[in-house]
Amino acid sequence: MTILLAPMEGLLDASLRDVLTRIGGIDRCVSEFIRITDRLLPERVFLRLMPELAHGSRTPAGVAVRAQLLGSDPACLADNAARLATLGPEGIDLNFGCPARTVNRHRGGAVLLDEPALLQAIVGAVRRAVPAQLPVSAKMRLGNQDEACMLDAARAIADGGACELVVHARTRAQGYRPPAFWDRIAHIRQAVAIPVIANGEIWTPEDALRCQAESGCSGVMLGRGAVADPGLAWAIRSPLAPELAWETLLPLLATYWGLIARHMAPRHRAGRIKQWLNLLRRRYPEAQSAYAAVRLLNDPVLVAAILFSGPGRAQGQNL
């Protein structure tokens, strides 16, 4: 089974990719989207948004990271993809799935699914602009407001030259509300000749098995489920995999805190660790106590003192 780690804007950045891939079970990651508008980005911007480019396009644990581009101008996307290709990415992914209103208002992400001809033009322009051996993949949803263009959009992406397609099993209008309609992905699999990866609402190994059965996909992409349960990829791979205990996870939370401190302004650090703790509450009772202790705090010194200092903290006690 192929297990990918999803891009999650504002949460699953290079620091969290680093920590989650240390735990293992992930075959490949996709970066947060790099927004392309009307200009050619300098190399330093790509390196800032995807620091793994400076290390062979891999996390410190050695897991490959594919760079994701978002935009609607085929020529500008192609120019930026060509420059990005010189930095040695594992591959280039195209975002046709983002449901954010701000992105959609500026003609990016899932709103483009209403324009299959444009999708094919974008994929084709990027495919022609980069070396033949460099993978070009894409991610889409089932549609924008509805599924009317679902199959046409998928065919357009495949016909443009994409080598792989990840499908989030909801429309943009459905956002992240459960359920995910994994059975719809089966129709896309039948419509295209490229590998299709299923994504959406996979929180447990049982979800992954049901998703595979309904979609027919051998591979899955994990998003919030892997953030809420960092041991999920291993659990999907083997029912005999040991559970990731809170005592094992707590030092990794401290590592994550140290990583975000290197590149994030102090006023934003507390928000990031609270985001992760909030999701971890689904899996770990200890995370509920930790989240409650820092929920109203924004001072990083106080947050660090509560979470990572004092007797018993390293063992996960008193949280």
DSSP category for residue 192: -
User: Exactly one of 29, 76, 98, 149 is catalytic; which is it?
Assistant: 98
From first CA to last CA, the distance across the chain in angstroms is 36
Helix (H, G, I), strand (E, B) or coil at 273: helix
Provide the token pair at 9. Answer: 């804007």
The verdict on whether 98 is a catalytic residue reads: yes
Helices in 202-244 by DSSP H: which ranges? 205-215, 224-228, 232-237
Q: Which of these, 258, 313, 255, lies nearest to 286 by C-alpha position?
A: 313
Sign of the alpha-carbon torsion through 107, 72, 189, 89: negative
Pairing between strand 219-222 and 196-199? Answer: parallel
Q: Which amino acid makes up residue 220?
A: V
For the annotated catalytic residues, the residue numbers are: 98
